[in-house]
Amino acid sequence: MSLLNVQDLTLTLYGASILKQLNFTLEPGEILALTGESGSGKSMTALSLLQLLPDAAELSGNITLDGTNLLRLTEPQLCAQRGGIMGMVFQEPMSALNPVQTIGAQVAEALRLDPKTNAAAAQNRAGAILGRVGLAPEHVPPSRYPHELSGGQRQRVVIALAIARQPKLLIADEPTTALDVTTQAQILALLKRLVREDDMGLIMITHDLAVVADMADRIAVMHRGEIVEQAATSKILKASTHPYTQKLLQAASHMARQPGAEHSRKPLLEVANVQRSYPAKRPWPWIKPPRNIAVKNVSFSLQTGDRMGLVGESGCGKSSLTRAILGLDPVEKGTITLNGKPVWGASSTIRRDLQVVFQDPYGSFNPRHKVAKLIQEAFHLYERPPLREDQEQRTCDVMRAVGLNPDDRGRYIHEFSGGQRQRIAIARALITRPKLVIFDEAVSALDVSVRAQILDLIADLAEQYGLSYLFISHDLSVVRSITDTCMVMKEGEIVEQGSTAFILNTPTHPYTQQLLSAAPKLPKISIGA
Amino acid sequence: MIPYIFKRLLSLLISLCLASIVIFTVVEVAPGDPAAFMLGINAQDDTILALRKELGLDQGKFARYLAWVGGMLSGDFGLSYTYRSPIADMVGERLWVSLPLALYALGLSILIALPTGLYAAAQRGKRGDAMVMGATQLGIAIPNFWFAMILVVVFAIKLRWFSAGGFAGWDDGLFSGLKSLTLPAIALALPQAAILSRVMRSALIETLGEDYIRTARAKGLSKRATLWHHALRNALIPVLTIIGLQFSFLMAGAIIIEQVFFLPGLGRLVFQAITQRDLIVVESVVMLLVFAVIMVNFLVDLAYAAVDPRLRSEA
Amino acid sequence: MKLRGSFLIGLLLSAAIASTALLSFIWVPYDVTVLSIGEKLQGASQAHWLGTDHFGRDLLSMIMVGARTSLAVALVAVGIGIGLGVPLGLAASARQGGWLDELIMRSNDLIFAFPSLVIAILITALFGASAVNAIIAIGIFNIPVFARVTRGGALSLWQREFILAARVCGKSTGRIAIEHILPNLNNLLIVQGTIQFSLGILAEAGLSYVGLGAQPPTPSWGRMLADAQTMVSFAPHLALVPGSAIILSVIGLNLMGDGLRDVLDPKLREAAR
């Protein structure tokens, strides 16, 4: 008998059909990956298993866990199941822990829910459980509060809470999406180890196909609330049968068609010996606070026609450097010039040549302005802004260039999807025909199939408009696909720079090697007939 | 922890300093010649001069300010112009009516508001919640002095459970003193309790939507246990802010309510002083009121640190 | 756009009070400056819908004229709060942690230590009691309220990427504040405005009650309550009428404010996410 048997699971919420007749099983010690794009229903499936849905949810079908039908249980019985037989790990480690309780107390609370454990025993064992997930009491005492821990450490605590009573089933909903590549590797290794040690079944929910390839024994691909294909990992990766799965796999290993690079030797953006630092918090008002150096002596030169990438994990100084390059913040030491003129306090003529596309397709736009007005923001940079008809014409042209319908320019931003919004962001950046565009994690928030389209768009536009760009990303596969040179940044310094192919295939610096080995890889796939 | 307390203490002292400067400037510097103002239009020049000498107005502003502050720190608030008696004595007695009244009302308000807010949040969307929301909607709109009048009619005049006014004094014991303050405290407390109850409710509802609540449920805690052990303490943080703010309204309200109950508190003193143009008394009473408010806010800041460990480790 | 029932009630109540006040400029049932002792302390009747007070004045007329005072004082006080508080809050939020921010926040905290009653005491001690001084006292206290609300709302907006995009386009801080930040704060300010308006009515009533607000012969609801105090045991309508007027106005405004918050917010939330 399987550990978990889900039959015809159907979920309706506020009249909308969320999950349609799901069927899957899980054996002890097996890792099943539920994968799909946003909106496919993966997280809802997890919440359905734990029965933590909103009150208005209507669930039907069968969920049999270790012989018990979860849909027939009362709430108190379900509480006993949660934590005891099944545990769950969520996506956002930064907000998943109660900020006013110590981590030891939170683990002990989980243990105390077992009727056979009393308070004293729970207290004692809490430290041991934290040790199991890699938080040894000598280094991270249970008396610590969550705000004193890093993201990776907090996620370990969340895992500790989930496995404290050694449940038979563990569900992990995008557990590493918010973490750095190196931390991600550690957490995934931890999960694999726990599955092995406790003979648990693990349902891993993730949109990242490389992670799936690395971790899962079996894959179930979800699309719009249904499981479109489910089989052993190797089978799906080598010989998938469903067109949607094939589309996903293709998009994940998509390489944007890079046009022939025309490299003039003319320097466009020169960054020389740049340093930026921030004051740390001062404990006593009269003590001068120490400064944290975010960017240390960074120098590089981006020439006309270059497509350069900047790779680094969170906290490496990418954002500080980016803001300085965009002229948003001054630098303490060093210079940043565009075409020989400094970017800090730059005149409008300089600013016209330098534009940016940001990461968040939702936060990048003023919700109260129509799309036309959003795209025309940069017209502010002309001493004599173009005439009304000219403005309209150029707006329509650029919208067509990014693949949007010019008739939509009277709409508001909330009427567009994430991918469309990024197209609008690109249109906004291109309206002044800049020479250099900074893409700041521009595709990181997009689904994998949309991401592939936007990368293609960027490559096409670069050729059409003669753009040079600096593409900043934490995702090595994206950098590989869209840049021909790149730099690797760590703790405020550029540790390696050179041609993308060279660096990502044969890295010389130990940090780059570490990044590459930690990143899960999608094996070469062949599309089934 | 120590740096936090130190910073709060520093903040307290700066606020007191600034407040005293503001009060001093408004009362003694702004009107030009306080002595002339106090004596009125028809005063003779030599009377004005005599008063100026008496009040020490011939000295420089800075020296006067320091003398005033120094005096207050040693308990000397000067002489009332109208009564020619030490203000410290007059104020001292009255402070022990107004301050306990405000604190009593604060206690009642918290006692009523927190459980009702909790109940409303737990019953969100159901009848219990609607009832609490309706009651608080009414409570917020009621002027406390009007409510006081109604209470007097019902409980003092018709039912005779309490006296209609006056203060029994503390000499007869704590209980009799509190009894005379009870109706006023209830009148003060209820509108504030209505506000606080809503704040508690919305703070709890917002807390209940946080991620760590989901983690707690996934661990196996029941809804009730989650509310009590996780949501409540986090929800207290915004509630504490409002409690601090409320105290200033309660002090102000206490002064108004004293009129309804004929309580010998700071209210009567200061309103009389205004009509009598006794600026010295006004100055002292306002300083005291502001001092009380700033002190209570300081205590609230300390309470924050007790509840929220993130504030304690400000390193 | 589905309108909640309570929002409608609030809207109706607020409109009723406002129109009563406006109507009083053109017509009142009886002249409130005329005393008619012979008709004193009458209960509700056909001649006097709400009865008369101890001077024989028609209570309905008093309420109508008193509405003017309450609404005018509360409205102008909110105007002062918004007019001065919003720019201060914007300026403070533009450079968080900067000296201007610290200065404005410290000043705010200082004003918060002085409840509007205390400010009123200080002002009236020097300049005498009047409706104008009541407006100033309540208005001064409104300034830090709006400054704090504006700053809070603006702080989260300054970090948003569309503001960065505008800065990359070279727009100055001031221009961004007006073009981008302020329009997105409208909802917040409207809701806070209605709250402060209803609080202003309560504050004005309190000030008039202790004699620090509008002076007789100008009728005000608070003053009516003060007069009613000694007679409340045998003529309760003298207290109930103005009290109900205050309560109904405040409830109406609060319901309207709550409803506005629901009507305005989802659109913004939907737009932002």
Does A347 score more than 70 pLDDT?
yes
Cα–Cα distance, B212 to B209 (Å, whole number) = 9
Find which of B274, B277, B290 to mutate to test the C interface (most C CBs within 10 Å of its CB): B274
What average pLDDT does the structure give for chain B?
A: 85
Sort out which chain B residues have CB atoms less than 8 A from C255's CB and list them.
Answer: 137
Does C240 score more than 50 pLDDT?
yes
Please tell me which of A194-198, B92-96, B242-246, C262-266 the model is most confident about, judged by mean pLDDT: A194-198
CA-nearest of C177, C224, C200, C180 to C64 is C224
CA-nearest of C203, C97, C193, C177 to C145 is C193
What is residue A283's predicted lDDT score, i.e. its pLDDT? 66
> Do A90 and B230 count as a contact with CB atoms less than 8 A apart?
no
Sort out which chain A residues have CB atoms less than 8 A from B310's CB and list them.
Answer: 99-100, 145, 147
Mention every residue, 6+ apart, whose C-beta is less than 8 A from residue B190: B109, B112, B139, B142, B144, B147
Does A390 score more than 70 pLDDT?
yes
Inter-chain CB pairs, B–C, below 8 Å: 121
Does C243 score more than 50 pLDDT?
yes
Question: How does DSSP assign C140-185, residue by residue?
Answer: HHHHHHHHHHHHHHHHHHHTSHHHHHHHHTT--HHHHIIIIIHHHH
Residue C142 and residue C80 in contact, taking contact as beta carbons nearer than 8 Å: yes
> Do A76 and B222 count as a contact with CB atoms less than 8 A apart?
yes
Strand arrangement of the beta sheet that strand A68-69 belongs to: A16-26, A4-13, A57-65, A68-69
Find which of B219, B230, B232, B237 to mutate to test the A interface (most A CBs within 10 Å of its CB): B219
Residue A230 and residue A242 in contact, taking contact as beta carbons nearer than 8 Å: no
> Do A98 and B234 count as a contact with CB atoms less than 8 A apart?
yes
Phi then psi for residue B165, to 5 deg, are: 180, -175
What is residue C270's predicted lDDT score, i.e. its pLDDT? 44
What is residue C267's predicted lDDT score, i.e. its pLDDT? 52
CA-nearest of A220, A206, A211 to A185 is A211
Average pLDDT over residues A326-351: 87
DSSP symbol at B86: B
Average pLDDT over residues A167-179: 92
| From A348, A351, A364, residue closest to C162, measured CB to CB | A364
What is residue C170's predicted lDDT score, i.e. its pLDDT? 82
In terms of C-beta density within 10 A (0-12 exposed, 13-18 middle, 19 or more buried), how is residue A224 classed?
middle
Sort out which chain B residues have CB atoms less than 8 A from A283's CB and list them.
Answer: 3, 314-315
| C-contacting chains (≥3 CB pairs under 8 Å) | A, B
Average pLDDT over residues C155-160: 86
Residue B193 and residue B243 in contact, taking contact as beta carbons nearer than 8 Å: no
Alpha-helix residue ranges (DSSP H) falling in chain C: 5-26, 59-94, 99-112, 116-127, 131-158, 161-168, 173-176, 182-209, 221-228, 237-272
Nearest-Cα distance to chain B for C236, in Å, is 9
Looking at chain B, which residue has its C-alpha nearest residue C202?
A: B143
Report which of residues B16 and C266 the model is more confident about. Answer: B16
| From B212, B221, B310, residue closest to A113, measured CB to CB | B221
| A-contacting chains (≥3 CB pairs under 8 Å) | B, C
Which is it for the CA torsion C27, C33, C36, C41, positive or negative?
A: positive
Nearest-Cα distance to chain B for A125, in Å, is 16
List Cα–Cα distances, A317 to A17, A256, A297, A313, in angstroms.
44, 27, 12, 9
List Cα–Cα distances, C173 to A352, C91, C100, C159, C170, in angstroms.
18, 10, 14, 13, 9
| From A355, A358, A367, residue closest to C271, measured CB to CB | A367
Confidence of residue B56 (pLDDT cuts 50, 70, 90): confident
- Written as six digits, the tokens of B88 are 């410290």
Q: How much of chain B, in percent, has pLDDT values that exceed 90? A: 25
Does B295 score more than 80 pLDDT?
yes
Looking at chain C, which residue has its C-alpha nearest residue A417?
A: C273
What average pLDDT does the structure give for chain C?
A: 85
> Do B309 and A113 count as a contact with CB atoms less than 8 A apart?
no
| From C211, C233, C251, residue closest to B138, measured CB to CB | C251
Count the Cβ atoms, other than its own, within 10 Å of residue A136. Answer: 12
Strand arrangement of the beta sheet that strand A307-312 belongs to: A354-357, A436-440, A468-473, A307-312, A485-490, A493-499
- Written as six digits, the tokens of C256 are 């309207």
What is residue A197's predicted lDDT score, i.e. its pLDDT? 93
| From A328, A351, A366, residue closest to C162, measured CB to CB | A366
Say whether B210 sits in a helix, a strand or coil.
coil
| Residue B10 at interface with chain A, using a CB cutoff of 8 Å | yes
Does A68 score more than 50 pLDDT?
yes
Report which of residues C3 and A522 the model is more confident about. Answer: A522
Average pLDDT over residues A492-507: 89
DSSP symbol at B142: S
What is residue C272's predicted lDDT score, i.e. its pLDDT? 38
What is residue C266's predicted lDDT score, i.e. its pLDDT? 53
One-letter-per-residue 3-state SS of C112-129: HCCCHHHHHHHHHHHHCC
Confidence of residue C273 (pLDDT cuts 50, 70, 90): very low
| From A110, A145, A285, residue closest to B219, measured CB to CB | A110
What is residue A457's predicted lDDT score, i.e. its pLDDT? 92
What is residue A133's predicted lDDT score, i.e. its pLDDT? 93
Lowest mean pLDDT among A102-116, A127-141, A441-455, B72-86: B72-86
Report which of residues A261 and B103 the model is more confident about. Answer: B103
What is residue C172's predicted lDDT score, i.e. its pLDDT? 86
Find which of B1, B14, B215 to mutate to test the A interface (most A CBs within 10 Å of its CB): B215
Instruction: Identify the contact set of chain A against chain B, taking CB-CB distances under 8 A.
Output: 50, 52, 75-76, 79-84, 87-88, 90, 92, 95-101, 109-110, 113, 145, 147-148, 158, 161-162, 164, 281, 283-285
Find which of C159, C168, C180, C187 to mutate to test the A interface (most A CBs within 10 Å of its CB): C168
What is residue A260's predicted lDDT score, i.e. its pLDDT? 62
Nearest-Cα distance to chain C for A347, in Å, is 8
What is residue A278's predicted lDDT score, i.e. its pLDDT? 85
Q: ipTM for the complex?
A: 0.85
Inter-chain CB pairs, A–C, below 8 Å: 60
What is residue C3's predicted lDDT score, i.e. its pLDDT? 59
> Do A81 and B220 count as a contact with CB atoms less than 8 A apart?
yes
Cα–Cα distance, B122 to B117 (Å, whole number) = 9
| Residue B215 at interface with chain A, using a CB cutoff of 8 Å | yes
Confidence of residue A471 (pLDDT cuts 50, 70, 90): very high
CA-nearest of A363, A361, A323, A368 to A344 is A323
- Written as six digits, the tokens of C251 are 């409830």
pLDDT digits (tens, 9 = 90+) for A126-161: 999 999 999 988 888 999 999 999 889 999 999 999
Strand arrangement of the beta sheet that strand A333-338 belongs to: A291-303, A267-279, A333-338, A341-342
Nearest-Cα distance to chain B for A296, in Å, is 24
Average pLDDT over residues B191-214: 92
pLDDT digits (tens, 9 = 90+) for B164-193: 777 777 777 777 778 888 889 999 999 999
pLDDT digits (tens, 9 = 90+) for C79-94: 999 999 999 999 998 8
Average pLDDT over residues B79-91: 82
> Do C113 and B249 count as a contact with CB atoms less than 8 A apart?
no
Does A453 score more than 80 pLDDT?
yes
| Residue A368 at interface with chain C, using a CB cutoff of 8 Å | yes
Average pLDDT over residues B56-68: 79
Mention every residue, 6+ apart, whose C-beta is less than 8 A from residue C148: C89, C108
Place of tokens 């007191």: B16
> Do C184 and A367 count as a contact with CB atoms less than 8 A apart?
yes
Amino acid at B307: V
Does C248 score more than 90 pLDDT?
yes
- Written as six digits, the tokens of A257 are 């068609």
DSSP symbol at B162: S
Nearest-Cα distance to chain C for A354, in Å, is 8
What is residue A525's predicted lDDT score, i.e. its pLDDT? 60
> Do C160 and A363 count as a contact with CB atoms less than 8 A apart?
yes
| Residue B315 at interface with chain A, using a CB cutoff of 8 Å | yes
Confidence of residue A528 (pLDDT cuts 50, 70, 90): very low
What average pLDDT does the structure give for chain A?
A: 89
Average pLDDT over residues B115-131: 90
Cα–Cα distance, B234 to C241 (Å, whole number) = 43
> Do B290 and C251 count as a contact with CB atoms less than 8 A apart?
no
> Do C114 and B150 count as a contact with CB atoms less than 8 A apart?
no
Q: Which residue pairs, CB below 8 angstroms and at least 24 apart, start in A320-325? A: A320/A276, A320/A294, A320/A295, A321/A271, A321/A274, A321/A276, A321/A294, A321/A295, A321/A489, A322/A438, A322/A440, A322/A472, A324/A274, A324/A276, A324/A295, A325/A269, A325/A271, A325/A438, A325/A470
Nearest-Cα distance to chain A for C109, in Å, is 19
What is residue A20's predicted lDDT score, i.e. its pLDDT? 92
| From A348, A364, A374, residue closest to C161, measured CB to CB | A364
> Do A363 and C184 count as a contact with CB atoms less than 8 A apart?
no
Does B36 score more than 80 pLDDT?
no
> Do A364 and C167 count as a contact with CB atoms less than 8 A apart?
no
What is residue C268's predicted lDDT score, i.e. its pLDDT? 46
Q: Which strand (E) or helix (H) includes residue A275? A: strand A267-279
Confidence of residue B139 (pLDDT cuts 50, 70, 90): very high
Does A425 score more than 90 pLDDT?
yes
pLDDT digits (tens, 9 = 90+) for C197-206: 999 999 999 9
> Do A99 and B308 count as a contact with CB atoms less than 8 A apart?
yes
